[in-house]
Amino acid sequence: MERPFAITLGVGSSLANHTGSWRVEHPEYLHRMPPCNQACPAGENIQNWLYVAEDGSYEAAWKELIKENPFPAVMGRVCYHPCQTACNRGELDEAVGINSVERFLGDYAIEHGWEIPAPEKESGFKVLVIGAGPAGLSAAYHLRRLGHSVVIKDATHSPGGMMRYGIPKYRLPREILDAEIGRIAKMGVIFQLNTRVDDVHDELDSFDAVFLAIGAQLSKRAYIPAGESARILDAISVLHDVEDGTPPLLGRKVVVYGGGNTAMDVARTAKRLGAEEAIVVYRRTRDKAPANDLEVTEALEEGILIKWLSTVNHVEGGRLTVEKMQLDESGFPQPTGEFEDLEADSLILALGQEVDFSVLGNSADLDVKEGTMPVDATMMTTHPGIFAGGDMIPAERTVTTSIGHGKKAARNIDAWLQGKTLDVASEKVAVTINDLNTWYYTDAPHAVRERLEATRRVNDFSEVVKGLDESTALYEARRCMSCGNCFECDNCFGVCPDNAIKKLGPGLGYEIDLDYCKGCGICVSECPASAIQMFPDN
């Protein structure tokens, strides 16, 4: 884990000049893996930018953040923050609101017009990115920062992919999305919209490498007996039409079939479009639903009804029949033969998405297995020079994961173009709460982000969750316990009985003078963050 300052070790050729041959161990400062960093699918150095932000150095913190992720304002809204689930502070009082600080920095950057300059040196290589969703945009951004010429081709008229066409405005305001995408365009990335690629192989003569980032925007279908008058739509098309300003007529009573985030989003959207009643039907229980729990909670707050352990049996004009399910001994839902009729002007299917692989043409040298495209450790497909990421490859389908894919692919594409191989860092063990001296940290509950009341938010697409103000964002950043890495608290300096620890100045850490260190280990035992460890002298 790289910190924003250097730690110098005073280990010389003679480890015990003045301390005697009896010393067998000496302390060293470490760079350990914080659990938040390890849990981040985008590979952010979270602890680092939180540390920089603690004194109000917002632009410096933002610059550290965007080294890994170009969308802090977007991610501060739509990421389900696994970093906070992993945060050790959650074992002490409450997890650090990492996501809220990220949003604050992203919004602050937009408000102050911070830009990312074009690279000083051009590489001479040209890379094509197919798909302007989170994976494609992330790859384009990182490739451009590395000096490559980048062209993005996308079949739609506006970039953003599922960030635009799958996430409603009440979760992600479009001015925020447009601002962060616009920053990438100003770096010199070329966008060719309304441009469909029919065969990726036709592009290879014009580009040195290709990154495939085609999102899963085809709705899965299911056979449901239906009468001729039944109105059945798919969730992705509904959300897409709403984004384009041509929302479909759903009627007064709407049923959504599915249990994922898209199901919750389209049900909440239906309410905002004027539906008096929106019901989600899902065949499993809430704890088995793929939707994020906060999404479910907000849907229920807004008056969305959810019928757990139910499945759609038949649809006729104005009426829908559902069958109740029950769990068997293995926890799998089984039909009961009990039915219930619901009034429904329309049924919206939200049963998952698939990738449209027609862009591959008739090629036999690009494998597709079980609806995804296998890639190697460098994100390269079975065709040299063609890389893939995002929804196309076997992985969790979230915006954060896709952004991480884009970054990883960009760095591997850069290495491949230069005939190099990236060094793969060894997996580090994350610091746990048991490694820390938590009694040094006072209780400080996390800041709560304001949300619109449910009765107000169902009337339009106003943003539901609000951001933090500056003072609260600073407070939240300072709650970070800096797990496993020095934050210059001066504990080691103060407790050393031999004055063997020297301060190098703000941001530079400490140096251990092993001519005077007796190896007592007090600095190790008293370090709040577990950033010092004893090592054998030989």
Output DSSP code: residue 425: P
For residue 88, pLDDT beyond 90: yes
132 and 212, same domain (yes or no): yes
Q: Which of these three, 303, 322, 352, is where a domain ends?
A: 352
Count how many domains the chain has: 4
Residue 101 CA to residue 109 CA, distance in Å, equals 12
273 and 348, same domain (yes or no): yes
Q: Which of these three, 327, 352, 377, is where a domain ends?
A: 352
Specify the amino acid at residue 455: T
Element (H, E) at 277: strand 277-281
Higher pLDDT, 395 or 144: 144
242 and 261, same domain (yes or no): yes
CB neighbourhood size of 453 (10 A): 9
258 and 322, same domain (yes or no): yes
191 and 80, same domain (yes or no): no
* Residue located via tokens 């897409």: 240
255 and 324, same domain (yes or no): yes
146: in domain: yes
Residue 23 CA to residue 230 CA, distance in Å, equals 83
Q: Which two structure tokens, joined as six digits, stand for 445?
A: 């509950």
Q: Which of these three, 309, 327, 352, is where a domain ends?
A: 352
pLDDT tens, residue by residue, 292-338: 999 999 999 999 999 999 999 999 888 999 999 999 988 899 999 99
Specify the amino acid at residue 529: A
Question: Of 131, 199, 122, 124, whose CA–CA distance to 159 is shortest?
Answer: 131
241 and 324, same domain (yes or no): yes
Q: Environment class of residue 67 by beta-carbon count within 10 Å: exposed (0-12), middle (13-18) or buried (19+)?
A: middle
Range of the domain at 84: 41-114+442-478
58 and 160, same domain (yes or no): no
Residue 467 CA to residue 446 CA, distance in Å, equals 14
Q: Environment class of residue 4 by beta-carbon count within 10 Å: exposed (0-12), middle (13-18) or buried (19+)?
A: middle
> Which CATH number do you get for residue 520?
3.30.70.20
Q: What angle do helix axes 261-272 and 235-243 make, rounded to 10 degrees?
A: 50
> Which CATH number do you get for residue 138?
3.50.50.60
pLDDT tens, residue by residue, 391-427: 998 888 899 999 999 999 999 999 999 999 888 777 8
pLDDT tens, residue by residue, 156-201: 999 999 999 999 999 999 999 999 999 999 999 999 999 999 888 8
Report how far Cα 96 is from the mean position of its chain's Cα atoms. 16
198: in domain: yes
4: in domain: yes
332 and 403, same domain (yes or no): no
231 and 280, same domain (yes or no): yes
434: in domain: no
pLDDT tens, residue by residue, 152-161: 999 999 999 9
Residue 316 CA to residue 379 CA, distance in Å, equals 46
Report the side by side order of strands in the sheet with 126-130: 190-192, 149-153, 126-130, 209-212, 386-388
Residue 307 CA to residue 347 CA, distance in Å, equals 14
Specify the amino acid at residue 445: P
120: in domain: no
Residue 29 CA to residue 51 CA, distance in Å, equals 17
Question: Mean pLDDT for the chain?
Answer: 91
347 and 231, same domain (yes or no): yes
232 and 281, same domain (yes or no): yes
CB neighbourhood size of 149 (10 A): 18
pLDDT tens, residue by residue, 89-141: 999 999 999 999 999 999 999 999 999 999 999 999 999 999 999 999 999 99
Is residue 214 within 8 A of residue 355, CB to CB? The reply is yes
Identify the sign of the CA torsion 281, 287, 288, 292: positive
What's the first-to-final CA gap in the chain, in angstroms?
A: 25
446: in domain: yes
pLDDT tens, residue by residue, 329-387: 888 999 999 999 999 999 999 998 888 887 777 665 778 887 888 899 999 998 999 99
- Give pTM, 2 decimals: 0.91
